[in-house]
Structure 1
Amino acid sequence: MTNGSGMRYETWRGLALWGEQEEAAAVEVIRSRSPFRYYGPALTHRTDALEQGLAELTGVPHAVAVSSGTAALTTAMVGLGIPAGAEVIVPAVTFVASVGAVVAARGIPVFAEVDDALTLDPRRLEERITERTWGVMPVHLNNAAADMDPILDVARRRGLRVVEDAAQAAGVAYRGRPVGGLGDAGALSFQLDKNITAGEGGAVLTRDPEAYERMVRYQDQGGQFSTSKGAVRGTGDGPVFVGTNLRMTELAAAVLLVQLPRLAPMCQRLRDVARRVREETADLGLDWRRLPDEEGSGGDLTLLLDSRLTARGFVAGLRAAGVPAYTLYQGQTVSTHRAVREGRTPWGKEWERPERNRISEGFLGRSVTIGLGAAMTDEDVDAVVAAVHKTASDVRGSGG
C-alpha cells in the first residue's frame, strides 16, 4: 500500500526478505546431491548447523530440527515422557495444531481461559489442574510472549511439565529471555507465515539432555540413523522404542540457516512499526492488546473493541483503506473446531465436549489485528496510521 494507490502491502515476514542467499543455499544442497540430513554423496551438514544456530540464538544447549511446528510440539511432549491419556492444559485461543500435537502424543487437551494479552491467564491456570494433568502448553501468540513467570510458578509448584508453543514467535523474548527456552521444552515453526520460513519446518528446544536424546530418537524412527553405529541401527544408551519420521531435510535447513541473522533486526523493525502506530493513534483512546513484554515482542497490533459488531466494522473499514486486518481465528476459540468440540481423534472419541471458554470468546471476538509485514515502508506505516484514524472516526460516527 503506497501513495494512496489502494494496493495492499504484503504481510509476509521472513518470506518478504527472501533473495539470492536462499537461492544460493538451496543450489548448494542440490549440487551436493545430499538433501537427506544423515548421509549423502557430499553431505553439507546444513541441518546440524541450523540446530547449533538455533541453540545459540535461544540460549539452550539442545535443538532438534523437524518437519513442522506441530511435529516439534509432539516431539517435545514425547521427549519429556508424556504418558498416554495424560492431560495437557492448552489456552482456548490458539491454532488447532496445538491440540493436534497433544493428540499425536496420545494426550488429552484441556482448555483454559486467556486474559487481555490473548495468552494463557496465569490466574485461571490452577483451576484447570486435576490429578490427571501432566503439563501445560502456553502459546506465544502472534509474535508476543505469554506471561511466563507466573505460569512457570504455578507449574513448578504443581509438578507440571511446561511445553512452550512458540510457533508464532521465533526471535521473541520475555523479560530478556528468548521464548522456547523458558520451560522444559519449546517448539518453533518455520511455516510460510512465520518469522523465518522454508515453507514448512520446525524445531524443538530443551535444556534436558535425557529428553533431548528421546527427541532425537523419536523424530528419526526411534534412532534409525541418529544413533547408528556401523551396520547396527537404533543403538544408544537409553531404552529402545519405535519412533516415527519427522526429520527435516537439508534443503529446508539451508534456506532457514541464511535467515537466522535477519531475525533480530526484523523483529526490532516490526516492534518499532507497532510502537509508532500506537503512539500516533494515542489520541483515539484505543484499547490495544496487553503485551506481557513489549520490549521483547516481535511486533503486534491487535485492538480490543467494545463488541463483536464494532470489531467487524473496524475490520471492514481498515480493509476498505487497503490495510490487511482481521479478527484472530474468526473470533472462535480452538474448542469450537468441530473435531475438538466432539473429542474426535484418529483413534476414536477421546474426550467429552469441552466447556465453553466465555472469557476467551469475549476477548477474541472483539479483537482486530492489523497485519504487519517485514517489507513495510515508512509510507505504508503512515497509511496504516491514517486508516486507523479514519476508521475509528467512521465507526464512532455510525454509532458502532
Structure 2
Amino acid sequence: MTNPLTPPVPPRYEPMRGLALWGEEEKAAAVEVLESRSLFRYYGPALQRRVEDFETRFGALHEVPHVVGVSSGTAALTCALIGMGIPAGAEVIVPAATFIGCVSAVVAARGVPVFADIDESLTLDPAAWEPLVSERTFAVMPVHLNNAAADMDPILAVARKHGIRVLEDAAQACGVRYRGRPVGSLGDAGAFSFQLEKNITAGEGGAVTTGDPLVHDRAARYQDQGGQFFTSRGGERGGTEGGPFLGANLRMTEIAGALLSVQLDRLPPMLTRLRDIARTIRKELSDLDVTWRALPDEEGSGGDLTLLTENRMAARRVVTQLTAAGVPAATLYQGRMVYQNPAVHSGRTAWDTEWTPPSRLRTSEALLGRSVTVALGATMTDDDVAHVIDSLRAALVPAGAAEGAR
C-alpha cells in the first residue's frame, strides 16, 4: 500500500477520450455560435441550427431516423421513458451495477426501479431479469457499460416475449456496436451522455435515439416544455399525436450542438484505435492466467480493458500498484451497487419514500468488487501502451494466480 502522505502519482497519459482530442475546430465552432448571438436552439437573430445538424448526423452514425438532443444523459433517459409512454408507478428493471442517473431518470418519469443481477460482462445478466417481470413491469434498461455492449439479443428476446419496452442506456458507449448494429438502435429507444469523460463531449449533454416516430414526438415535446417551440414547426419535425401535455426544459444549447458535431467524425477512428490498444494489451499478457471481463461483442467494443481479480482485496492491491505506476485504474463504481447508495436503498425521492429497501445481489456485488478497469486515453502513444503492459504484468505476476489473476 502507498503512504497516505505521499502525493499521488499523476497519470502517465490523459485518461480521456473525446476531450483529449479537442482543438481549434471546437473553438471555432463555439465562437461562430457566440458571434451569431443565437445560443438557443429554436430561434435567434442568426440561428445556425447546430443542434438540428448534430441530431441529423448523430442519427446517421447510429442508424436511426430520429434523434433528440437534450441537456444530459439523465435527461435523455427521462425523455426516452416519457417518449415510450411510461405510466405512473410502473416498474423499470435496471442492472444493479450502473450509475445513479439510471435510477434518477426512472424516478423523474414517475416509475419505480427494480434491480437485477449482472454477469461477468458486468452488464445485465440476460438470464437473471426475467423472473423479476411482473404485471407492473413497463421496461428494461440494459446498460452498455464502459464502452462494451450488453448482450442484447437474449435481452430483446425476453422483452418481446413479455411485451416489455427496451431502453438502452448507451451513456458510456457512444459509437459502440453490437453484432454489426450501433448501440442505441437495438431497443425501442437509446440514451446517450456527452458529459466530460464520454467519447464525445460538450461538458454536458445527451441524446435520445429511436426508430419510433411517436416516441420521438413525445420525447421532443417533453424536453421542450411539452412542445413550446417544437410543435410550432408543424410538419417539418412532427405532430402532436395524443394531445398536449406538460413537459420540462431539458433542451440542448447551440454551443453544445456545435461542439459535438465537430467530434463526430473523430469517433469511429478513435474507437478503432482504443479497441486495438485493448486487444494488444490482452494479447501481450496472454501468458498470464488473467480473467478478463466477458465482452458480448469484442469486435464492436470501444476499447474496454477490465479484468476480474480473485477478490476485493486483490482488486484494491492491483489498483494501488497501477496508479502508483501512473496508470489510471479503478474498480468500477468503487465496487458499489447502485442500490447501495443510501437514498436509492431507502427509496427516498424528493417528495416521498417510493419503495422498500431492495434485497442484496451478492453475486453482482462480488463481481463488481473484484473488477479492475484501466482507463485508455485517446492520445496514448505506443510507449504508453508498453508501459501499461509492463505495469499490469508487474501488478499481476508477483502475487501469483491466487491473488492477481485467476
Given the two structures, how large is their TM-score scaled by the length of structure 1?
Answer: 0.96
Residue deviations 1:2-55, cap 9 Å, x none? xxx975211110000000000000000001000000000000000000000111
Corresponding residue for residue 181 of structure 1:
185
Tell which deviates more after alignment, 253-262 or 5-14. 5-14
Corresponding residue for residue 66 of structure 1:
70
Corresponding residue for residue 297 of structure 2:
293
Corresponding residue for residue 304 of structure 1:
308
Corresponding residue for residue 206 of structure 1:
210
Q: CA deviation at 1:360?
A: 0.6
Question: Does 2:396 correspond to 1:388?
Answer: no
Query: Is the 1:119–1:146 contact (alpha carbons within 8 Å) kept by the matching residues of 2?
Result: yes
Count of residue pairs brought into register by the alignment: 393
* Separation (CA, whole Å) in 1 of partners of 2:322 and 2:233: 59
SS at structure 2 position matched to 1:48:
helix
1:79/1:383 CA distance change after superposition, 3 Å: same
What does 1:101-120 align with in structure 2 at a 5 Å threshold? 101-120=105-124
Corresponding residue for residue 281 of structure 1:
285
SS at structure 1 position matched to 2:229:
coil
> Structure 2 counterpart of 1:177, which letter?
R
Q: CA deviation at 1:90?
A: 0.1
Q: Which runs of 5+ in 2 are unaligned?
A: 1-8
* Separation (CA, whole Å) in 2 of partners of 1:97 and 1:398: 36
1:31/1:338 CA distance change after superposition, 3 Å: same
Residue deviations 1:137-156, cap 9 Å, x none? 00000000000000000000
* Separation (CA, whole Å) in 1 of partners of 2:165 and 2:117: 19
Tell which deviates more after alignment, 147-156 or 384-393. 384-393
* Separation (CA, whole Å) in 2 of partners of 1:48 and 1:373: 29
Corresponding residue for residue 133 of structure 1:
137
* Separation (CA, whole Å) in 2 of partners of 1:208 and 1:372: 35
Question: Does 2:224 correspond to 1:220?
Answer: yes
Q: Which runs of 5+ in 1 are unaligned?
A: none
> Structure 2 counterpart of 1:14, which letter?
G
User: Between the two proteins, what is the percent identity of the paired residues?
Assistant: 64
For 2:328, which of 324, 329, 345 is the aligned residue?
Answer: 324
Q: CA deviation at 1:238?
A: 3.6
1:7/1:304 CA distance change after superposition, 3 Å: closer
> Structure 1 counterpart of 2:288, which letter?
L
> Structure 2 counterpart of 1:196, which letter?
I
Residue deviations 1:325-348, cap 9 Å, x none? 110111111000000000000121
SS at structure 2 position matched to 1:345:
coil
Question: Does 2:53 correspond to 1:53?
Answer: no
SS at structure 2 position matched to 1:368:
strand
> Structure 1 counterpart of 2:186, which letter?
L
1:46/1:229 CA distance change after superposition, 3 Å: closer
Corresponding residue for residue 42 of structure 1:
46
Question: Does 2:297 correspond to 1:268?
Answer: no
* Separation (CA, whole Å) in 1 of partners of 2:179 and 2:203: 30
1:289/1:243 CA distance change after superposition, 3 Å: same
Query: Is the 2:83–2:217 contact (alpha carbons within 8 Å) kept by the matching residues of 1?
Result: yes
* Separation (CA, whole Å) in 1 of partners of 2:276 and 2:303: 7
* Separation (CA, whole Å) in 2 of partners of 1:193 and 1:52: 23
Query: Is the 1:228–1:235 contact (alpha carbons within 8 Å) kept by the matching residues of 2?
Result: no
Residue deviations 1:56-78, cap 9 Å, x none? 00111100000000000000000
Corresponding residue for residue 253 of structure 2:
249
* Separation (CA, whole Å) in 2 of partners of 1:346 and 1:7: 38
For 1:23, which of 21, 27, 39 is the aligned residue?
Answer: 27
1:360/1:398 CA distance change after superposition, 3 Å: closer
SS at structure 2 position matched to 1:394:
coil
Q: CA deviation at 1:265?
A: 0.4
Q: CA deviation at 1:317?
A: 1.1
1:394/1:320 CA distance change after superposition, 3 Å: farther
Residue deviations 1:279-315, cap 9 Å, x none? 0011111000000000000010101011111111111
SS at structure 1 position matched to 2:113:
strand
Q: CA deviation at 1:399?
A: 6.2
Q: CA deviation at 1:236?
A: 3.7
CA RMSD of aligned residues (A): 1.6
Query: Is the 2:95–2:141 contact (alpha carbons within 8 Å) kept by the matching residues of 1?
Result: yes
Tell which deviates more after alignment, 133-142 or 122-131. 122-131
Given the two structures, how large is their TM-score scaled by the length of structure 2?
Answer: 0.95
Query: Is the 1:313–1:395 contact (alpha carbons within 8 Å) kept by the matching residues of 2?
Result: no
> Structure 2 counterpart of 1:192, which letter?
L
* Separation (CA, whole Å) in 2 of partners of 1:41 and 1:12: 36
